[in-house]
Amino acid sequence: MKKNSSLKGKSILTVKQLAPEEIRYLVDLAKQLKNKKKRGLRGNLLKRKNIALIFEKSSTRTRCAFTVAAADEGAHTDYLNMNDIHFGKKESLADSARVLGRMFDGIAFRGYRHETAEALAVHSGVPVWNGLTDIAHPTQILADLLTIQEHFGRLKGLILVYTGDGRNNVASSLMIGCVKMGMHFVNCTPSELMPDPNLLAEAEGFAAQTGGSVRIVHVPLKAVRGAHVVYTDVWASMGEEAEFEKRRKLLGPYQVTMEMMRKTGRTETGEVIFLHCLPAFHNHQTEVTRTIGAMEVTDEVFESKFSRVFDQAENRMHTIKAVMIATLT
């Protein structure tokens, strides 16, 4: 596997910090590693590497993706949750980071404040990988790009429409990731949930360099016309559960339905896919939706032939593996 020396020793905290060629390299490497795993081959590219998984926020996909990806290539992981580590309580964040950096080769962090991930990267002296913070989710976006690449055979020129909470960490990171790869990103959101204007300006600057574009559209059935990818996320992120009822009223028209998928004009040819970073509230089988039903996407769309959400979830593992290998070897 050809190496990209610009990534070695580098922390990956946002998509914005990655050059388009680095994103392309990580997506291509992930595809190679996925094929390797499909052939039943285990490797040793991370042999004797020790990885700390620091999770202030619980997770299924992110934790499992890091654990399995590391094990596949010979690394050992140690999981630390809120009960195991107390940044700023009995020990300063900087001191904790320096201790962890002496013991581990890399640190995966999933938490609330992006500043915590930045401090870990500054003080630990080892690569830090952002598994989700309040403003960014780079490992998710790499998996999204791999999933899109697998289906269409390309990224440049494709139209992705994100519908829902247009200013959350996934929407913000996805906007940057898409335009850096020359895609056309449409943020379909109400005016109350618009993306950060400074980030939007940065995205427009990147788009000007790559041939991509960014648009804000408030009318869902208009926004999705011509879309190759329709993407949504939960209407209230972790820690915002009290907002569910308010968001249901505000975002009801932005629910991904089969009518919305048909409005892309691509369902007859199969040239459109549906993505969701999960977990998804698409049926009555969760505590949240038992009485109120589906929210951001209907069960019909979620279970349809257009849905690639489980390919997308699996690809978290392959792209995270690529990130660890690229930055540690």
Judge whether 236 and 288 are in contact, CB under 8 Å: no
Weakest-pLDDT range from 76-80, 86-90, 133-137, 155-159: 86-90
Nearest to residue 143, comparing CAs of 169, 188, 177, 187? 177
Query: What integer pLDDT is reported at residue 86 of this predicted model?
Result: 79
Helix (H, G, I), strand (E, B) or coil at 70: helix
In this predicted structure, the answer to whether residue 92 has a pLDDT above a threshold of 90 is yes
Q: What are the structure tokens assigned to 162, written together?
A: 């994100």
What is the average per-residue pLDDT within 166-173? 97
Convert the pLDDT of each residue in 108-162 to its tens digit.
Answer: 999 999 999 999 999 999 999 999 999 999 999 999 999 999 999 999 999 999 9
Beta carbons within 8 Å of 255's beta carbon, 6+ residues apart: 294, 295, 296, 297, 298
User: What's the pLDDT band for 1 if we cut at 50, 70, 90?
Assistant: low
Residue-range domains of the chain with CATH: 5-136+316-328 (3.40.50.1370), 140-313 (3.40.50.1370)
Per-residue model confidence (pLDDT) at position 228: 98
Rounded Cα–Cα distance for residues 65 and 321 (Å) = 8
Strand ranges across the sheet with 50-55: 76-81, 50-55, 106-110, 128-132
Preceding omega of 279 cis (within 30 degrees of 0): yes
pTM of the model: 0.97
Residue 116 · residue 57 · CB < 8 Å: no
Cβ contacts of 121 within 8 Å, gap of 6 or more: 11, 13, 127, 128
Least confident of 18-22, 183-187, 290-294: 290-294
pLDDT in tens, 227-279: 999 999 999 877 777 888 899 999 999 999 999 999 999 999 999 999 999 99
Pairing relation of β-strands 213-217 and 128-132? unpaired
* Active-site residue list: 110, 137, 140, 233, 277, 316
Q: Are 166 and 197 in contact (CB under 8 A)?
A: no
- d(CA 232, CA 260) in angstroms, rounded, equals 12
The residues near 56 (Cβ < 8 Å, ≥ 6 apart) are 81, 82, 109, 110, 111, 112, 116
Beta bridge partners of 274: 230, 307
Residue 207 is which amino acid?
A
